[in-house]
Amino acid sequence: MVLSDLGRRINSAVNDLTRSSTLDEKAFEEMIKEICNALISADVNIKLVSTLRNSIKKTVNFKELPPAANKKRLIQKAVFDELVRLVDPHAEPFKPKKGKSNVIMFVGLQGAGKTTSCTKLARWYQARGFKACLVCADTFRAGAFDQLKQNATKAKIPYYGSLTQTDPVVVAREGVEQFRKERFEIIIVDTSGRHRQEQDLFDEMVQIQAAVKPDQTIMVLDATIGQQAESQAQAFKDAADFGAIIITKTDGAAAGGGAISAVAATHTPIVFIGTGEHMLDMERFAPQSFVSKLLG
Ligand code: GDP
């Protein structure tokens, strides 16, 4: 089920209820049930769905509603607020400072969209007046440096990488040192992924983190991986303690509920969402407007 379907289902559950002539408790319970079913089919963790169900019930408190209350508005607002709560961990993401070298390190599994998102983010900051650059510390995947080089060249972003150095820690350290000296303000370090979560990858991440001392570590999560997203994010969090998430491929046929659950499980804010393969296909993530858009 794609995200827009989820929104449509939730919306129609609320509308059916608020339009029905008998807006009684039974109909209210039916609406909540339909919303919860929609969230579960979108891969949102069952525990989260159950918390949301209880919170909506508690907030609306149907039995105690005075007869004159605007039930429709109350119910719509409760559903909206709870959905916002689901995607908002109430943690402030890092804000880079002008005139200083801000190092941002990317982590995530191979194919999640790290290299693509690195360039998108560098371009995003560049367009906002930051001096941005890219470091390719992915020495694991053949072709990774070429891919970053091509993207960076297209976006006119300076880059650093090596075709001969096989130690990603050395490349990361040298690249960041060079760009710090050159007073770049946003230094984005792309790291390698693996097909699976494995110890080698986590060890490498920890070593690169120690070498470049990032101001922020961002985990890139593929929206299409469904329920695995939560455990994957948790494992990365335990190893690399990232402070922000970028969810990619939200334009695809994915519900994204797994990714939403990952946010809740790791109490980490989503900062951007990837909406396509091109350089400009990235949007800033804001819980309120995300839910507004979701509900159309
Ligand atoms: P990495 O291995 O994590 O560095 O992943 P890549 O950046 O190479 O991306 C893997 C694939 O996903 C590429 O084909 C990208 O074009 C694609 N991709 C990345 N982000 C998005 C997105 O937001 N939407 C879509 N549709 N494709 C994306």
When pLDDT is cut at 50, 70 and 90, the band that residue 2 belongs to is low
Sheet strands side by side (includes 159-160): 159-160, 132-137, 186-191, 102-107, 216-222, 244-248, 270-274, 282-284
Residues contacting 96, CB < 8 A, separation 6+ = 102, 104, 125, 130, 185, 186, 215, 216
Lowest mean pLDDT among 20-24, 45-49, 60-64, 257-261: 20-24
Q: Is 110 in the pocket of ligand 1 (CB under 6 A)?
A: yes
Average pLDDT of the chain to the nearest whole number: 89
Q: How far is the CA of 271 from the centre of ligand 1 (A)?
A: 17
Strand 102-107 versus strand 270-274 pairing type: unpaired
Higher per-residue pLDDT: 293 or 183? 183
Question: Which atom from ligand 1 is nearest to the alpha carbon of 281?
Answer: 23
**What's the rounded Cα separation, in Å, for the pair 123 and 108?**
20
Instruction: Give per-residue pLDDT as tens, 185-198.
Output: 999 999 988 766 67
Contact 290, 112 (CB under 8 A): no
Residues contacting 139, CB < 8 A, separation 6+ = 145, 162, 165, 166, 167, 168, 171, 192
When pLDDT is cut at 50, 70 and 90, the band that residue 8 belongs to is confident
Neighbours of 194 (CB within 10 A): 16
Q: Is 146 in the pocket of ligand 1 (CB under 6 A)?
A: no
- The pLDDT of 34-41, averaged and rounded, is 90
Instruction: Give per-residue pLDDT as tens, 62-74.
Output: 888 887 778 888 8
| Strands annotated E in 108-225 | 132-137, 159-160, 186-191, 216-222
Q: How far is the CA of 225 from the centre of ligand 1 (A)?
A: 13
**What's the rounded Cα separation, in Å, for the pair 46 and 44?**
6
Percent of the chain scoring above 70 in pLDDT: 96
Question: Which atom from ligand 1 is nearest to the alpha carbon of 147?
Answer: 8
Q: Is 256 in the pocket of ligand 1 (CB under 6 A)?
A: no
Q: What is the pLDDT of residue 197?
A: 66
| Residue found by looking up tokens 């089920």 in the block | 1
Percent of the chain scoring above 90 in pLDDT: 52
The residues that bridge with 273 in the sheet, in sequence order, are 247, 283
Q: 160 by DSSP, 3-state: which?
A: strand
Test site for ligand 1: of 123, 138, 248, most ligand atoms within 8 A of the Cβ: 248
Q: Is 251 in the pocket of ligand 1 (CB under 6 A)?
A: yes
Q: 207 by DSSP, 3-state: which?
A: helix
Q: Is 112 in the pocket of ligand 1 (CB under 6 A)?
A: yes
Q: What is the pLDDT of residue 21?
A: 75
pTM: 0.89
Q: Is 115 in the pocket of ligand 1 (CB under 6 A)?
A: yes
Instruction: Give per-residue pLDDT as tens, 212-247.
Output: 999 999 999 998 888 888 888 999 999 888 999 999
Instruction: Give per-residue pLDDT as tens, 9-25.
Output: 888 888 888 777 777 88
Q: How far is the CA of 113 from the centre of ligand 1 (A)?
A: 4
Complex prediction ipTM = 0.99
Test site for ligand 1: of 277, 279, 282, 285, most ligand atoms within 8 A of the Cβ: 277
Neighbours of 95 (CB within 10 A): 8
Neighbours of 77 (CB within 10 A): 13
